[in-house]
């Protein structure tokens, strides 16, 4: 047995043994040291400095999505901790030359490196077994290393049982945890570990890595196929290598883009670009024909919409970050056409298409008829892509003089001002169906068969009413028949100061705390102007009710001083004054002069004596 390669070698003079079984690419090309790890430079730099300075932690927490190398990194770290050769006998990151324990650790069979899957060992009994074992020193290595995968699956009791040991482990014990659900790990555990977040691998690095693997395997594969595999891997090296393995088997040794697209059930990226262009010009018929071609070729409706959403996202990014087009996973068609669309389409249109695609993808995934659901989503997008933004609609309305016939269209098929460019039609215009009306100008929306909506009449502006006192407010409340507000103003409001649009008041103890807010709304409704109502620390003038009470008390007091009233009160013991009313005398009536009628003398010239006697 070759210790380094793991292959069997036959002794000389004997028949060769059976060929070793095939190993999948994900296992065959698993990184053996830190130099083989791709895309994790921050972690490698931290560990390198820690090992070189002797600041080695007692526990590490590795987190990240599936297939980014958490378990592989844990094994490499275990190798680094237990690295030993004839010349080197200390932990090191440089693992170029295999050490005594390297092969056994990478194969998962070293007695001092214990791997445990927390998904199947979740209880306190499993942790109790670890606690019992750590008392013993390692058999042959420098450290006893415990690698616990999917650590978030441990129960609460198991986590609690591990806390004390994790905080003060023996000097010969190291813990390495790996998880895809870091939020499920208790903070008490995280605080005792050195955490590393393994990032998703960039698609460019994945393409380069897959190219290197393909060259070593002697497989012919084009760049477009590698880009599709890298995109489908979503940052996972293991997923990408598994897809590459499947593509090689699918193609019988050779891999081309069409075979990979068929295997993954993907839509043709060039067709996606064409579909996007048809939708942006409102050519729904061409868009549906493109969609049907892709669907008949085996592409899933949901995948078509997802790829369309990805391209929409790409165009939007290119609009603000032109460097996004340098992504090696993009095809030349995506790169060039994406830049063109980014220069002509407005952000408003792209955002609207993005939102409609997200909704369409959800509907397609949950629908019993996904193909029809995807078609309906495309029809909605094609119809809405040419609609103007609210700003453009307002401009068109004002430019047309405020008439409905011209509010939704521009003259002669010009481009909308929203940035649609060559790919977007004029506001409100529709293309004539192919096969009829050739050479005629595009129909305006007002002349189409679709029903038009009449422009509502503009509401007459509310005439502003001046308010200078609480009496004015009470009068308005009476005018609008708001009895409840009238009572609150009379009994609960003390006026501090009043200005046009601004009212400063204080409230009586019995007044409602929400009265200022209610006043703001009522005053705006009554006067047609915005009012600011604030509460003051000043006491303010008496309320209307308090003023009326004081006035009545003053009249009663004056009445008591009248000799006639005093005589009446003396004549009738127990009587009291409840109200004082000012009588209208004949002298006052005589002083009143009636203004002549506008119609003149309306009485007849002569009166019948009999009528006069009546």
Using a 10 angstrom Cβ sphere, with 0-12 exposed, 13-18 middle and 19 or more buried, the burial of residue 232 is: middle
Chain centroid to CA 415: 32
- Please, are residues 58 and 174 in contact by the beta-carbon 8 Å criterion? yes
Segment 36-74, tens digit of pLDDT: 888 889 999 999 999 999 899 999 999 999 889 899 999
Rounded mean pLDDT of the chain? 80
Which stretch of DSSP H or E encloses residue 478? helix 470-479
The answer, yes or no, to whether residue 180 has pLDDT greater than 80, is yes
Alpha-carbon distances, residue 458 vs 126, 462, 474 (angstroms): 76, 12, 30
pLDDT for 145: 94
pLDDT for 373: 94
Nearest CA among 285, 327, 288 for reference residue 310: 327
Neighbours of 455 (CB within 10 A): 11
Segment 506-539, tens digit of pLDDT: 888 888 888 888 888 888 888 888 888 888 888 8
Mean pLDDT of 197-226: 89
- pLDDT confidence tier of residue 573, bands split at 50, 70 and 90: confident
**pLDDT > 70 fraction of the chain, expressed in percent and rounded:** 80
Chain centroid to CA 452: 35
Segment 276-328, tens digit of pLDDT: 999 998 889 999 999 998 888 878 899 899 999 999 999 999 989 888 888 77
Query: Which residues 6+ apart lie within 8 Å of 66 measured at CB?
Result: 180, 236, 238, 239
Segment 83-101, tens digit of pLDDT: 998 888 889 988 888 888 8
pLDDT for 613: 44
Mean pLDDT of 237-254: 86
Domains annotated on the chain, with CATH: 25-197 (3.40.50.300), 203-264 (1.10.8.60), 275-390 (1.20.272.10), 470-541 (no CATH)
Q: How far apart are CA 518 and CA 181, in angstroms?
A: 51
pLDDT for 548: 86
Helix locations, 3-122, DSSP H: 25-28, 41-53, 70-81, 102-106
pLDDT for 461: 44
Higher-confidence residue of 579 and 231: namely: 231
Q: How far apart are CA 357 and CA 312, in angstroms?
A: 9
Mean pLDDT of 265-274: 78
| Residue 154 phi, psi (nearest 5) | -65, 150
Helix (H, G, I), strand (E, B) or coil at 345: coil
pLDDT for 13: 44
Mean pLDDT of 4-25: 56
Which stretch of DSSP H or E encloses residue 308? helix 301-320
**Residue 152 has what DSSP assignment?**
G
pTM comes to 0.54
- Please, are residues 267 and 307 in contact by the beta-carbon 8 Å criterion? yes
Token pair listed for 507: 């409230």
- Please, are residues 503 and 532 in contact by the beta-carbon 8 Å criterion? yes
pLDDT for 587: 54
Query: Which residues 6+ apart lie within 8 Å of 156 measured at CB?
Result: 186
Q: How far apart are CA 41 and CA 55, in angstroms?
A: 19
**pLDDT > 90 fraction of the chain, expressed in percent and rounded:** 30
Three-state helix/strand/coil letters over 380-424: HHHHHHCCCCHHHHHHHHHHCCCCHHHHCCCHHHCCCCCCCHHHC
- Please, are residues 393 and 427 in contact by the beta-carbon 8 Å criterion? yes
Q: How far apart are CA 224 and CA 231, in angstroms?
A: 10
Residue 532: beta bridge partners? Answer: 502
Higher-confidence residue of 459 and 112: namely: 112
Segment 332-371, tens digit of pLDDT: 788 888 888 998 888 888 999 999 999 999 999 999 999 9
Q: How far apart are CA 133 and CA 123, in angstroms?
A: 16
Which stretch of DSSP H or E encloses residue 495? strand 493-499
pLDDT for 464: 59
Segment 386-441, tens digit of pLDDT: 677 677 777 777 776 655 444 444 444 444 444 444 444 443 444 434 444 444 44
- Please, are residues 354 and 309 in contact by the beta-carbon 8 Å criterion? yes
Token pair listed for 602: 């309306």
Segment 445-460, tens digit of pLDDT: 444 444 444 444 444 4
Q: How far apart are CA 465 and CA 529, in angstroms?
A: 8
Segment 122-149, tens digit of pLDDT: 899 999 999 999 999 999 899 999 999 9
Higher-confidence residue of 338 and 610: namely: 338
pLDDT for 584: 53
Token pair listed for 89: 């006998």
The answer, yes or no, to whether residue 499 has pLDDT greater than 50, is yes
pLDDT for 252: 75
Token pair listed for 467: 């308010």
Using a 10 angstrom Cβ sphere, with 0-12 exposed, 13-18 middle and 19 or more buried, the burial of residue 263 is: buried
């Amino acid at each position: 047995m070759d210790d380094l390669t793991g292959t069997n070698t036959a002794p000389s003079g004997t028949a060769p043994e059976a060929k070793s079984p095939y190993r999948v690419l994900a296992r065959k090309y698993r990184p053996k040291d830190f130099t083989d790890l791709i895309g994790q430079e921050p972690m490698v730099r931290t560990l390198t400095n820690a090992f070189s300075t002797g600041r080695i932690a007692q526990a590490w927490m590795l987190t990240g999505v599936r297939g980014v190398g958490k378990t592989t990194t844990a094994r490499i770290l275990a190798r680094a901790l237990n690295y030993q050769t004839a010349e080197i006998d200390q932990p090191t990151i440089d693992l170029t030359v295999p050490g005594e324990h390297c092969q056994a650790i990478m194969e998962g069979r070293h007695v001092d490196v214990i791997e445990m899957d927390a998904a199947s060992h979740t209880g306190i009994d499993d942790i109790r077994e670890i606690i019992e074992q750590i008392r013993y020193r390692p058999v042959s290595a420098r450290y006893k290393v415990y690698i616990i995968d999917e650590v978030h699956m441990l129960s609460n009791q198991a986590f609690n049982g591990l806390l004390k040991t994790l905080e003060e482990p023996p000097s010969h014990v190291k813990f390495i945890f790996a998880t895809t659900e870091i939020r499920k790990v208790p903070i008490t555990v995280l605080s005792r570990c050195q955490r590393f977040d393994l990032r998703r691998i960039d698609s460019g690095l994945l393409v380069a890595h897959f190219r290197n693997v393909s060259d070593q395997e002697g497989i012919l594969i084009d760049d477009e196929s590698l880009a599709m595999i890298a995109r489908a891997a979503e940052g996972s090296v293991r997923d990408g290598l598994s897809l590459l393995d499947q593509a090689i088997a699918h193609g019988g040794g050779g891999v081309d883009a069409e075979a990979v697209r068929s295997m993954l059930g993907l839509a043709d990226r060039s067709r996606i670009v064409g579909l996007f262009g048809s939708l942006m010009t409102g050519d729904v018929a061409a868009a549906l024909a493109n969609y049907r071609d892709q669907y008949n070729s085996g592409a899933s409706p949901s995948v078509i919409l997802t790829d369309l959403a990805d391209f929409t996202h790409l165009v939007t990014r290119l609009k603000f970050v032109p460097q996004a087009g340098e992504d090696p996973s993009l095809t030349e068609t995506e790169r060039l056409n994406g830049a063109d669309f980014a220069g002509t389409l407005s952000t408003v249109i792209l955002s609207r298409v993005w939102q409609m695609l997200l909704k369409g993808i959800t509907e397609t995934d949950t629908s019993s008829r996904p193909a029809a659901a995807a078609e309906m989503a495309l029809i909605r997008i094609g119809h809405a892509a040419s609609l103007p933004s609210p700003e453009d609609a307002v401009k068109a309305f004002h430019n047309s003089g405020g008439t409905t016939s011209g509010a939704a269209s521009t003259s002669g098929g010009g481009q909308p001002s929203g940035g649609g460019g060559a790919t977007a039609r004029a506001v409100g215009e529709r293309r004539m169906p192919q096969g009829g009306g050739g050479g005629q100008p595009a129909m305006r929306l007002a002349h189409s068969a679709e029903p038009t909506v009449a422009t509502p009449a503009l509401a007459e502006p509310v005439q502003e009413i001046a308010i200078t006192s609480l009496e004015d407010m009470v009068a308005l409340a009476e005018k609008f028949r708001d009895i409840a507000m009238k009572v609150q103003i009379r009994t609960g409001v003390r006026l501090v100061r009043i200005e046009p649009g601004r009212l400063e008041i204080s409230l009586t103890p019995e007044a409602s705390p929400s009265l200022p807010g209610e006043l703001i709304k009522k005053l705006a409704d009554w006067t047609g102007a915005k009012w600011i109502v604030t509460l003051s620390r000043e006491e303010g003038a008496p309320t209307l009710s308090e003023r009326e009470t004081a006035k009545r008390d003053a009249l009663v007091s004056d009445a008591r001083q009248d000799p006639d009233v005093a005589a009446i009160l003396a004549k009738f013991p127990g009587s009291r004054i409840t109200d004082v009313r000012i009588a209208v005398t004949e002298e006052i009536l005589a002083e009143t002069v009636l203004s002549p009628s506008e119609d003149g003398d309306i009485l007849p010239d002569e009166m019948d004596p009999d009528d006069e006697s009546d």
